[in-house]
Chains A and B, each alone.
Chain A
Amino acid sequence: MNSLAGLAPYLVLIVAGFLPNEIWRMLGIVVAHGLDEGSELVVWVRAVATALLAGVIAKIILFPPGGLADVPLMVRLMAMAVGFAAFVLVRRSVLAGVLAGEAVLVLGAYWLAG
């Protein structure tokens, strides 16, 4: 009984985490069958993937998880804007963008909380 109860979180991990996520990857293998790099369909699919990612980014910023929700929306938006500006200004550097955005987020939240 006890050992069964100990397995429950792992069962939930498989059913509620692994399967609903992995199904999209396996469907990707099916859809990719017969497609090649240069095809127009791949250009469209890449555009959809990029817009989907943008949607995920917007969702996390507007409805943030955990402790990020305690940081005011204005600070979250400012941090994204400054991070993006730093990325553009510093030779399209991902590191510069992430560091600048993080600095604004942490300092902004600290300053407003202080």
Chain B
Amino acid sequence: MDQNIPPIKTEIKISGMVTLNEEIIVAKLLMQIDGIVKVYAHHKNGKSEIYSSREISLNELQQTLAGYNFQVSGWGNKEITGSETDKKRISGKDFLKFLPVVILVVTAYLVYKNFNLASQTQNVESVNLWVIFLTGLTVGGLTCLAVQGGLLASVIAEREEESALGKGIAKHAIYATGAFLVSKYIAYVALGFLLGAFGGALNIDGRVQTVMQLAAGFYMIAVALNLLNIHPIFRYAIIQPPRFLTRLVRNQSKSKDIFAPALLGAMTIFIPCGTTIAIEALAISSANAFAGAAIMAAFILGTMPVFFGIGFITSILGETFKTKFLKLAAVAVIYLGITSINGSLTALGSSVTLQALVESFPKTISLGKSDNNTQSSQSITQNAEIEITSRGYVPAYLKVKKGQEVTLTLKSKDAYSCASAFRIPTLGVSLNLAPNDTQTVKFTPDKAGQITFACSMGMYRGVIDVI
């Protein structure tokens, strides 16, 4: 209507905006005032720019925002009114906002414990689950928030316009964010379950899993190098979702339906960012539905807190923190990648693994689970018994003579981890034991050297020294 008249720019300070959500809500509210053509609101410092076709008084703006806990002042006198109210808001309310996340974490933990999922998910080391959680907390959260935070804010604002209730907007935002996150969590855990099961279905002879694990490892490193901005080529590691899917999600964010936030949350599985895809690859390579679900659960739980407290966190840590955070996250992703590659190399029987590298050094540091053995005191035996527990193999070092048949008796005791999938890659030995089981394998080594045995994922290993 007023396209030809250059708009009047007014700079004001709006206090009380803590998150991106509130930014959008403020903008939507102010846009309803006749004459205002564009609003830019920034939650970090409260500076807001209003473009209008007529002069707008502070009073008019304040009246519109009065019921919503936002205060308007001129940009010039920001220091007097601004900082104090900001601090007040941050202290109480924002910690309350973390409550749904805390509740989710606790329920997830209780479900995990009580339904005895712990034994099912031993395929993933708990240490790695923590790294996955941390990855979610750092990079996953930030990259997810870039798009999903905006979508969520827009769906909240749509609902707010519809209900026209006015007050209680902060409460509504928390409910909507909660619904969004809970359904997102459920969708991703289900996805992880399916990806793990899919990996398991592919994994007929064990080789496929190892190859997938290797690929997932390299992919994660490529993603990390992209985050570190090492070279433009690593941008190709980031898969851009097809436009019809992003449109679908976009349209959902414009819906006024009461279930819109929840549906939107579930639909975010269609627009994964690079890190999410890397974690999904890890879920497939776990080749176990429960392990896949646990991996995705740890990651998504990690991404949640930023949705509630991004304004709070950035206001404490300042501007430069985001880039530093991305670097930290890249390190976590590299760690996951290396662990994954190392595991697959061990499972393939490669002599180039981290453990092998460490063993070739003088014994000052120890790494992994295979080093807690006393190599020199081990006597030579052609009839060895190896005990398998969830934690690996005892003994993990054997001495045998070449040219004579070796009989290995494998006894599993409550072995719920992948340790029960016993492999000697170089000899083509592949035995899958039940948690409590006994099986034997016979072979004749024809040359001296070291033979590595390991579980199917390469997490637990040991060495047979042929002399």
B is bound to A: no
- Seen from chain A, the residues whose Cβ lies within 8 Å of a Cβ on chain B are none
Residues of B that sit less than 8 Å from A by CB: none
